[in-house]
């Protein structure tokens, strides 16, 4: 048996490779850890979102025995969102496994499988998972971008709501910021999110802060004096990069993540969102575009290998078909280091 004949065995079939790539270490970044995305697979390449535009109204008193107030029926709006397809192409060449001892087969299979798994791990850590995190940060902002900077989905447009006004924290004044000014802004954010949620419960308001915003906030007199005699003061000493800080009813985190020197969060911005809201965040996975996966529920990742036509190796590919979104984008608030509103 030739070295590459092992690829025709069950260990290198679509099911086995897909199972292997889904067992790889999942390092999605903070958006995947802080937020419960309620992940699920779907058997289609698009999803339909139905919205019932209910609203709260104050009713006027009516005469006893007379007619009451007539309420309009709830309007339903349906939107279809396509699930994007992300694929990484690679190859394992015959020369890479040249000299592998064929006798006993077990050593041969394990060596080649090790090469394949190394490649799959690179696909996950360097391409697939960073893309998933990038899309999730887009969902936190309300605008999901492609890698080239174009817009994949503007959630505010898709759901027909206006994005909330940017909240300015006036942080350039640094240590001279007046006591209570930052807390007042935080209260404004919390109230706005609570109003947007209506009667829906939430656990807490969270914030991903860019580097400049974080540095300016923890340097203010107001924040430092608040924690001066508390245990949390340790967070303000030394290097506090990429830490968290609870202030004004909000958990702030200096977000760490980016690609090619470009951070996912603008250094001068902060993005607020609620956590612990049932059904607020969603991740759906569509099936791969293989014959074997047609009309099956999607998985987070897929992998497949097939022969090169010239017989010099095997093509190897990994893919993910994921869409992350927020079902109530009007709860997503952006703040900035400057004046804002």
Q: Give the confidence band of 220 by pLDDT, cuts at 50, 70, 90.
A: confident
pLDDT at 205: 97
pLDDT of 28-60, one tens digit each?
689 999 999 999 998 888 888 766 554 444 455
Average pLDDT over residues 231-252: 72
pLDDT of 108-166, one tens digit each?
665 677 778 888 888 888 889 999 999 999 999 999 999 888 999 999 998 888 999 99
pLDDT at 149: 87
d(CA 91, CA 112): 12
Is a pLDDT exceeding 90 seen at residue 191? yes
Q: Which of 34-43, 88-97, 203-212 shows the lowest mean pLDDT across its residues?
A: 88-97
| Residue 33: φ, ψ to 5° | -100, -40
Average pLDDT over residues 268-284: 95
Contacts of 52 (CB under 8 A, 6+ apart): 74, 75, 76
CATH architecture, range 163-280+328-336: 2-Layer Sandwich (3.30)
Q: Point out which residues pair with 209 in neighbouring strands.
A: 254, 270
Q: Write down the domain spans for the chain.
A: 3-53+79-151+284-322, 163-280+328-336
Number of H helices and number of E strands within the chain? 8, 18
pLDDT at 124: 87
pLDDT at 55: 43
Q: Which of 302-306, 307-311, 337-341 shows the lowest mean pLDDT across its residues?
A: 337-341
Average pLDDT over residues 272-298: 93
Is a pLDDT exceeding 60 seen at residue 337? yes
Q: Give the confidence band of 65 by pLDDT, cuts at 50, 70, 90.
A: low
d(CA 185, CA 164): 14
Which one, of 154, 164, 193, 170, lies nearest residue 276 by Cα?
Answer: 193
pLDDT at 274: 97
pLDDT at 104: 47
Helix (H) or strand (E) holding 188: helix 181-197
More confident residue, 225 or 168: 168
Is a pLDDT exceeding 50 seen at residue 1? no
Using a pLDDT cut of 90, give the percent of the chain over it: 43
Tokens of 89: 């192409």
Is residue 298 classed as helix, strand or coil in its secondary structure? Answer: coil
């Amino acid at each position: 048996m030739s070295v590459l004949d092992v690829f025709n065995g069950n260990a290198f079939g679509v099911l086995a490779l897909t199972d292997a790539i889904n067992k790889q270490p999942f390092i999605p970044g903070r958006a995947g850890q802080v937020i419960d995305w309620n992940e699920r697979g779907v058997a289609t390449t698009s999803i339909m979102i139905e919205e019932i535009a209910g609203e709260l109204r104050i009713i006027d008193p009516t005469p006893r025995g007379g007619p009451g107030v007539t309420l309009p029926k709830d309007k339903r709006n349906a939107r279809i969102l396509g699930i994007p397809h992300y694929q990484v192409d690679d190859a394992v060449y015959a020369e890479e496994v040249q000299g592998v001892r064929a006798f006993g087969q077990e050593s041969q299979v394990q060596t080649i499988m090790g090469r394949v798994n190394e490649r799959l791990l690179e696909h996950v850590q360097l391409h697939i998972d960073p893309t998933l995190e990038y899309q999730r940060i887009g969902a936190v902002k309300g605008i999901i971008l492609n890698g080239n900077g174009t817009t994949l989905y503007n959630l505010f447009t898709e759901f027909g709501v206006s994005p909330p006004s940017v909240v300015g924290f006036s942080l350039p004044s640094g240590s001279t910021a007046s006591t209570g000014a930052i807390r007042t802004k935080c209260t404004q954010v919390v109230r706005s999110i609570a109003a947007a949620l209506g009667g829906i419960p939430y656990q807490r308001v969270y914030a991903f802060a860019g580097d400049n915003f974080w540095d300016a906030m923890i340097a203010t007199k107001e924040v430092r004096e608040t924690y001066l005699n508390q245990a949390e003061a340790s967070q303000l000493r030394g290097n506090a990069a990429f830490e968290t800080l609870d202030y004004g009813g909000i958990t702030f985190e200096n977000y760490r993540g980016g690609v090619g020197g470009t951070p996912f969060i603008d250094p001068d911005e902060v993005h607020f969102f609620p956590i612990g809201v049932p059904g607020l965040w969603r991740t759906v996975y569509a099936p791969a575009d293989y014959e074997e996966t047609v009309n099956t529920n999607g998985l987070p990742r897929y992998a497949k290998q097939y022969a090169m036509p010239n017989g010099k190796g095997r093509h190897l590919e990994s893919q993910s078909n994921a869409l992350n979104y927020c079902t109530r984008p009007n709860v997503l608030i952006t703040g900035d280091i400057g004046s804002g509103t």
